[in-house]
Structure 1
Amino acid sequence: MNTKVTIQNLKCSGCKNSIIKHIKKVNGISNIKIDIESSEVAFEYATESAHIELRKALSALGYPITGDPNTIMDKAKSYVQCAIGRLQ
């Protein structure tokens, strides 16, 4: 199934690179597209559990779904992932 989610803390292509690298590892997720300007992540998922795992992975990286809590720790994690993504 195709869907898209809007995430928090997405700032640049470094963030995008980190997100793609990590969520490619989630089984059942494919065709990942990220729009930095709208903070949208579009993807296909094979099962509902894959969709849930993707949401967990985004949150663990510091990019929670819009509407979910966005703590100082999430913001800090997103800056670290941003820096790592810029080096890739």
Structure 2
Amino acid sequence: MKTTLYIQNLKCEHCKTIILQELSKLKNITNAFIKSQYATITFEHLYPEDVEKVKQTLSNIGYPPFGEKNNFIKKPNSSSSSSKELSK
């Protein structure tokens, strides 16, 4: 099976390296790749419960899937957040 997840806090090549290193340690997870411009990770897995393992791992290392709690303490300024602050 193949799954794609949108992830939070993906900012640079170092982020991609960390994520791919951690996911390579998981059993049944193969062919993971990240599209930075879309903040997505796509991977192949054997069982539906493998997706939950990936989500938990991503959350534990600071890259939770969209829709899950983001515990990143200080979020970097982005153009969208800057423009929101300017419109206040």
The alpha-carbon distance between structure 1 residues 13 and 71, as it changes in their structure 2 partners (threshold 3 A), is same
The runs of at least 4 consecutive aligned structure 1 residues that moved more than 3 Å come to 72-75
Alignment of 1:1-88 (within 5 A): 1-73=1-73
| Unaligned 5+ runs, structure 2 | 76-88
CA offset digits 1:45-68 (Å, max 9, x no partner): 111221111110000000000011
CA offset digits 1:59-82 (Å, max 9, x no partner): 00000000111123596xxxxxxx
Query: Larger helix proportion, structure 1 or 2?
Result: 1
Alignment RMSD, CA only? 1.5
Which has the higher Rg, Structure 1 or Structure 2? 2
Inter-partner Cα distance in structure 1 for 2:74 and 2:17: 17
Q: 1 or 2 for the larger relative contact order (CA 8 Å, sep ≥6)?
A: 1
SS in 1 for 2:20: helix
| Unaligned 5+ runs, structure 1 | 76-88
CA contact (8 A) 1:61 1:74 kept: no
Identity %: 33
TM-score norm. by structure 2 comes to 0.79
